[in-house]
Amino acid sequence: MRFFNTMGRSLQEFTPIKPDNVRMYTCGPTVYNYAHIGNFRAYLFEDVLKRTLEYFGYKVTQVMNLTDVDDKTIRDSKAAGLKLQDFTRKYKDAFFEDLKTLRIEPASHYPEATAHIPEMQRMIDILFKKGIAYKSEDGSVYFSIDKFPDYGKLARIDREQQRAGVRINSDEYEKDSVADFALWKAWSESDGDVKWDSPWGEGRPGWHLECSAMSMKYLGKTFDIHTGGVDNMFPHHEDEIAQSEAANGCKFVNYWLHCEHLTVDNKKMSKSLGNFYTLRDLQNKGYTGAEVRWALIGTHYRSKLNFSFALLDQARATLRKFADFFQRLRDLEKGSLGKEAAAELAAKADKDFADGIGNDLGIAEALAAVFTLERAVNSALAKHEFQSEAGEIILEQFRKFNKVLGSLDVDAAAEPEEVPAEIMALAEARSAARKARDFAKADEIRNQLKEAGWIVEDTPGGLKVKKA
Ligand SMILES: [Zn+2]
């Protein structure tokens, strides 16, 4: 497998530290609101990454943190008049529901920041003893970027831009305000009752420190893969590297993978433009998790994804087509006709899929293998070249693809379409005409149905009526 490593900006062969167990850390949500589809694009990329590693036989230990204390959670819990933990609980629960809807496989651990304050304090202590952390006159503890010569290596920040001694207290800031960042924030009035004791006075941890402390606890000082959205790269990931490498004296992460932004109708998604969607907004419009998932994973993770409702409709049509395809394979009459041909087609598709997805998650190539197989099988079905055993080989291959893709319902019965009573009556009249060998009348009714937009089929399982 190969991945594009943000550190070094190049495609690199993937070699895990432990040959059979990949350790991977994923920056999780700040639980102050429902996650939006831009967030979910990143979580889905990480899910596809994890599933791909599993597809290639690796065991994956994945950690995703939950940021349940930071500037935003405190600000919004106060506005809602709730205690911090009551406020964040609601959005933690919603987040897990959404993951399930999108068929995202659970991570191995979901550590919460508020449950790991001692681990964070230990890390600050180490940085203090090494002379890298210092307490400023505002009572907060900062990381001195001047003491870490590698600062900026991930986001490629010019050493010139680094302004020693200039401090920034907020969790989020832009590249042009590169400065010493807060490890421990002294309590201030606006924090209300959110505070912990520490050797440096009452306060709370800085956001970046969470991920350094929690990744170390669950994955060790050095691990394989760290992921996030491109907007996490600076300052968040840059600061994580600085904290972890300065404290531990060893390399933090071997491979950094970042997922690009999502736009909506080619515009930045924002509440003011009215193009801001949570998963729940799309569900309320009738789309399923499988459809949203298919739409969001179909673009390579390093390309911008332009979301639109046309894209969702396309996903819906594709998944329905597949559901129909699987049904036809399940309905094949018993027998071994076409078994070898099916095995050959499946083996070729399997190889092409693996070549594609293993090459920096080349989803376009992987999907091309899937569609090529579907077309070849459809053509064999049209010529009645396959019986049930061949069909099962193909279904098994699709189950395998689905271990990565996740949106295909290979074994579920296709959702029955609501067929109006008068259409059903016509279809039955046609069957009766056929039985009576009145083929002229049967054809006439078939055309009538076609004009109304319906197709009727006589299958071994009985009469089937579906939309044209
Ligand atoms: Zn993080």
Q: How far is the CA of 240 from the centre of ligand 1 (A)?
A: 7
Distance 303 CA to ligand 1 centre (A): 21
Is residue 106 within 8 Å of residue 99, measured between CB atoms?
Answer: yes
pLDDT band at 418 (very low <50, low <70, confident <90, very high): confident
CA of 358 to the centre of ligand 1 (A): 25
Average pLDDT score, the chain: 94
Sequence-ordered list of residues with C-beta below 8 angstroms from that of 274, at least 6 positions apart, any chain: none
Q: If you measure from the C-alpha of residue 154 to the centroid of ligand 1, how many angstroms do you get, rounded to a whole number?
A: 14
CA–centroid distance, 139 to ligand 1, in Å, is: 24
Q: What is the C-alpha separation between 352 and 342, in angstroms, rounded?
A: 15
Ligand 1 center from residue 228 Cα (angstroms)? 8
CA distance 87 to 91: 7
Q: Given the DSSP bridges, would you call strands 10-13 and 262-264 parallel, antiparallel or unpaired?
A: unpaired
**Model pLDDT, residue 410:** 96
- pLDDT tens-digit profile of 137-184? 989 999 999 999 999 999 998 877 777 778 888 888 877 778 899 999
What's the rounded Cα separation, in Å, for the pair 257 and 230? 9
Alpha carbon distance 467, 363 (integer Å): 30
Q: What's the gap in Å between 134 CA and the centre of ligand 1?
A: 22
Pair 465, 414: CB distance under 8 Å: no
Q: How far away, in angstroms, is 451 Cα from ligand 1 center?
A: 57
| Range 387-413 average pLDDT | 95
pLDDT for the residue numbered 456 = 85
What's the CA-to-centroid distance between 26 and ligand 1, angstroms?
Answer: 7
Ligand 1 centroid–CA 69 distance in Å is 13
Amino acid symbol at 263: T
- What is the C-alpha separation between 275 and 282, in angstroms, rounded? 12
Looking at 298-421, which runs of residues are DSSP E strands?
A: 305-307
Distance in angstroms (rounded) separating the CA atoms of residues 142 and 449: 74
DSSP letter at 34 equals P
In the reported structure, the alpha carbon of residue 221 is separated from the centroid of ligand 1 by a whole-number distance in angstroms of: 15
CB 261 within 8 A of CB 203: no
- Going by pLDDT thresholds of 50, 70 and 90, the confidence category of residue 271 is confident
Q: Is the pLDDT of residue 415 over 60?
A: no
Rounded distance, CA 387 to CA 337, Å? 5
Predicted confidence (pLDDT) per residue in 204-236, tens digit: 999 999 999 999 999 999 999 999 999 999 999
**Tokens describing residue 197:** 């004791």
CA 234 to centroid of chain Cα atoms: 21
For 367, the enclosing helix (H) or strand (E) is: helix 363-382
State the Cα–Cα distance between residues 16 and 53, nearest whole angstrom.
11
Tell me: the pLDDT tens digits for 338-361?
A: 999 999 999 999 999 999 999 999
CA of 380 to the centre of ligand 1 (A): 50
Q: How far is the CA of 234 from the centre of ligand 1 (A)?
A: 11
Phi, psi of 182 (to 5 degrees): -80, 130
- HSE at residue 126, side-chain half, CA atoms within 13 A, is 16
Q: CA dist 82 to 9, 74, 85, Å?
A: 44, 10, 8
CA of 261 to the centre of ligand 1 (A): 17
Closest CA to 70 of 87, 57, 47, 56: 87
Spatial neighbors of 336 by CB under 8 A, at least 6 apart, are 387, 389, 390
Q: How far is the C-alpha of 242 from the C-alpha of 245, rounded, in Å?
A: 6
The answer to whether 104 and 47 have CB atoms below 8 angstroms apart is yes
pLDDT computed for residue 413 by the predictor? 62
Confidence of residue 412 (pLDDT cuts 50, 70, 90): confident
| Ligand 1 geometric centre to CA of 145 (Å) | 18
**Per-residue pLDDT tens digits for 278-328:** 999 999 999 999 999 999 999 999 999 999 999 999 999 999 999 999 999
Q: Quick: pLDDT tens for 28-67.
A: 999 999 999 999 999 999 999 999 999 999 999 999 999 9
**Percentage of the chain with pLDDT > 70?**
99
pTM here is 0.87
Q: Are 211 and 63 in contact (CB under 8 A)?
A: no
- Contact 70/88 with Cβ under 8 angstroms? no
Place of tokens 């399930």: 100
At 300 the pLDDT is: 98
Categorize the per-residue pLDDT at 417 as very low, low, confident or very high, splitting at 50, 70 and 90: low
Distance 211 CA to ligand 1 centre (A): 5
DSSP state of 399: H
Ligand 1 center–CA 158 separation, angstroms: 23
At 107-126, the pLDDT tens digits run 999 999 999 999 999 999 99
Q: Residue written as tokens 């989020």?
A: 172
Distance in angstroms (rounded) separating the CA atoms of residues 461 and 38 = 43
Cα–ligand 1 centroid distance for 272 (angstroms): 27
- Rounded Cα distance between 3 and 398, Å, is 25
